[in-house]
Amino acid sequence: DTAVSQTPKYLVTQMGNDKSIKCEQNLGHDTMYWYKQDSKKFLKIMFSYNNKELIINETVPNRFSPKSPDKAHLNLHINSLELGDSAVYFCASSQSTGELFFGEGSRLTVL
């Protein structure tokens, strides 16, 4: 069983559309994250949830809205997609100060 799984793996869409990425973890961790990896491979945190509560919200446009229905799921919805949103989005989970376990990434391409 995959520990952290995210879907879809690939998204190709037009500017202005809305899209969602789903993430689920079966590790029993209490904290989940979204990271964005740009074309230069730089990894930057976007959001973090602890037991369904938002605890980190970096400077991210409000077109990005995370939702955590329970502590095993963290979804990311993006409205009005822009060219600059093209990136790989990684979901991750951790327990307390432990290491982060990452999903395989979702590559978003905005045309």
Partner 1 sequence: AQKVTQAQTEISVVEKEDVTLDCVYETRDTTYYLFWYKQPPSGELVFLIRRNSFDEQNEISGRYSWNFQKSTSSFNFTITASQVVDSAVYFCALRRGGGYNKLIFGAGTRLAVHP
Selected from 24, 36, 48, 74, the binder of partner 1 by CB under 8 A is 48
Contact flag: residue 44 with partner 1 (CB under 8 A): yes
Contact flag: residue 42 with partner 1 (CB under 8 A): yes
Q: What is the 3-state secondary structure (H, E, C) of 41-97?
A: CCEEEEEEEECCEEEEECCCCCCEEEEEEECCEEEEEECCCCHHHCEEEEEEEECCC
Least Å from the CB of residue 68 to partner 1: 14
Selected from 21, 23, 74, 88, the binder of partner 1 by CB under 8 A is 88
Q: Per the omega criterion (within 30 degrees of 0), is the bond before 61 cis?
A: no
Site for partner 1 in 89-108 (CB under 8 A): 90, 92, 94, 96-102, 104-105, 107
